Amino acid sequence: MPRGRVAAVLLGLILLAVPLTAEKSKGQGKHYALIFGTAYAPDNRPMYGVRVKIHAVGKKHANWDLVSDHRGEFAQRVPPGPGDYVLTGTAEISDPQTNKKKRLKGEAKVHIEDEERQDISLHLSE
């Protein structure tokens, strides 16, 4: 058999094997739920730089610390449910009229039933 044919047959076998190994690895991934949220300022605009702490109900210390991006969004993988979580958001803004900083806070609760995505809004106020 000429070398060109052997190379073509080997290449064909390799290309057929790649999708089979990719499908096997999909089933072996870790299972998780996703909490996806948007932090909003008091004027209902998405807010950048909000520090978000997530902890399971019944625990004192936060399991995860996040910061919202330029669209006010944040996301965190959590173990699949059932489970309840409390999200606490804090931010500081400066008031141009008084030249003082204002501290904004907000809290939201999330229930995770299984491997799912929960979208939430975290509204901050003074």
pLDDT confidence bin for 5, thresholds 50/70/90 = confident
User: Is the confidence at residue 22, as pLDDT, over 50?
Assistant: no
pTM of the model: 0.72
The 10s digit of each residue's pLDDT in 72-109 is 999 999 999 899 999 999 999 888 888 889 999 999 99
Average predicted confidence (pLDDT) for the chain: 86
3 state DSSP class of 117? strand
Domain spans in the chain, listed from the N-terminal domain onward = 1-29, 33-123
Taking residue 124's Cβ as centre, other Cβ atoms within 10 Å add up to 20
Q: Count CB neighbours of 81 within 10 A.
A: 16
Helix (H) or strand (E) holding 52: strand 51-56
Contact 85, 58 (CB under 8 A): no
* Average pLDDT of span 22-35: 69
Distance CA 121, CA 108 (A): 8
Q: Is residue 52 a contact partner of residue 37, using CB atoms and an 8 Å limit?
A: yes
Of residues 122 and 2, more confidently modeled? 122
- Selected from 2.60.40.1120, 2.40.50.110, 2.40.50.140, 3.40.50.1820, the CATH number assigned to the domain covering 33-123 reads 2.60.40.1120
